[in-house]
Amino acid sequence: MRDLDIAEVAQRSGMPASTLRFYEQKGLIASIGRRGLRRLFDAEVLERLALIALGRSAGFSLDVIALMFGPDGRPRIDRQMLAAKAEELDGTIRRLSAMRDGLRHAAACPAPSHMECPTFRRILRTAAAGAVAARGKQAPGWQS
């Protein structure tokens, strides 16, 4: 496959040229030269951009994604880090599922007032316990 200029990479990857320039500045991708004023990239940049997009979708920062590539530019992904991120996502899914279920209950609850509903009150207690736990994780000096 031939070299691609930045406009072609942007079109094929679905990423704006500004993002490509930012990724180049961060060292995530590298141009191989110029055609006039446009940066040129090796066609393999598309696969690298797909890996970056996958990492972003999973919630990894760009700095962490940069560490997923070896000095030669090839992927070098720490499997333990992937497993830890999967566990983190499992926890997020559990919390969001519980929130979704609570909202559905509150929307359909037949009690005259949500405060009279035992299920809603249990949801409130759970939310309050989570808020207290989250406040404990804040930086020192955080006040409510």
Average pLDDT score over the chain:
86
HEC assignment per residue over the chain? CCCEEHHHHHHHHCCCHHHHHHHHHCCCCCCCEEECCEEEECCCHHHHHHHHHHHHHHCCCHHHHHHCECCCCCECCCHHHHHHHHHHHHHHHHHHHHHHHHHHHHHHCCCCCHHHCHHHHHHHHHHHHHHHHHHHCCCCCCCC
**Do 94 and 126 belong together in one domain?**
yes
Calculate what percentage of the chain has a pLDDT beyond 70. Answer: 90
Q: Of 43, 67, 91, at which residue does a domain stop? A: 67
Task: CATH number of the domain at 23, please.
Answer: 1.10.1660.10
Mean pLDDT of the region 101-120? 87
pTM of the model: 0.72
Q: What integer pLDDT is reported at residue 142 of this predicted model?
A: 35
Position 142 in a domain? no
Is a pLDDT exceeding 90 seen at residue 121? Answer: no
Q: Which of 6-10, 54-58, 59-63, 67-71 has the lowest mean pLDDT?
A: 67-71
| pLDDT score recorded for residue 41 | 94
Average pLDDT of 86-105? 89
- pLDDT tens digits, one per residue of 29-61: 999 988 888 889 999 999 999 999 999 999 999
Q: Looking at residue 131, what is its pLDDT?
A: 61
The total of structural domains in the chain comes to 2
Residue 127 is part of which domain span?
Answer: 79-135
Mean pLDDT lowest among 6-15, 87-96, 111-120, 126-135: 126-135
